[in-house]
Amino acid sequence: MKFLNTNWRHLIMVNYEVDGGVLEKYLPEGCEVDLFEGRAFVSLVAFEFSRTSICGVPMPFYRKFPEINLRFYVRRRVGLGWRRGVVFIKEIIPCVFPAWIGRAVFRENFHVMPVEFQFDGVEIRYEWGEGNLIMGSLIDGCAVREKGSEEEFLVDNYWAFKKVDDHRAMEFEVTHRPWMMQRLDRELCFFDIERLYGEDMARAIEDFGGHPRSVFYLDGSEVEVTLPRFIKNLT
């Protein structure tokens, strides 16, 4: 059942390799960490919500706002194949009411703090909390991702999973057109990983050098999100 209709625009993805062991405590029952060429990743994703409606009704007062989230990649076996998706570790937005919806309906770990977004068509900037910052300049034209590439692995995920407790998990579907990717120049990524996401995550990122493997921009599009549902027949 479609629950949320919105636009996710002007995404920046900052991608880190980590030891998959640090992700186990967030892993929903029935899922496993999804790897690309044996590597586990977390991504910090900044983007703008706009034109947000719930069950077809425009969200009052909060139709446009930025979000910063940290996510990792999982897969769940369905029949003879795999359903690939993401697990959100923490989502940061500047608005109380949308955060309440995220916690109440999706049971996600939403936090409220100041988040600012600026974009003039070339320079893009997200700033949140106390001195956390992502910025850069768009270069080249938009392009599709190569089939089988690391970028495709990181971007093309259309499910989200949530650990409810040790024996229950939920999933919801996220539908949108394929997003176009664009490289960033003079990118600057500065955020306090330990303060935002804990000592374990900071150490896991530092163990692989502490620097992103990649940073890129995605144009975004209209998005439809289904109402979350419990995953049945977990063992």
**Letter string b/e over residues 91-112, b meaning 16 or more CB atoms within 10 A of that residue's CB:** bbbbbeebbebbeeebebbbee
Domains of the chain: 2-230 (2.40.400.10)
pLDDT tens string 190-228: 999 999 999 999 999 999 999 999 999 999 999 999 999
Structure confidence at residue 78 as a pLDDT band (50, 70, 90) = very high
Q: What is the mean pLDDT of residues 112-117?
A: 97
Give yes or no for residue 121 having a pLDDT over 60. yes
List, in sequence order, every residue forming a beta bridge with 129; answer none if it has no partner: none
Range of weakest confidence among 60-64, 86-90, 153-157, 197-201: 60-64
Could you give the CA distance from residue 37 to residue 193 in angstroms, rounded to a whole number? 25
Structure confidence at residue 99 as a pLDDT band (50, 70, 90) = very high
pLDDT tens string 3-12: 989 999 999 9
Could you give the CA distance from residue 33 to residue 149 in angstroms, rounded to a whole number? 18
Q: Name residue, tokens 């000592």.
A: 199
Q: Can you spell out the DSSP letters for 78-104?
A: ETTEEEEEEEEEEEEES-HHHHHHHHH
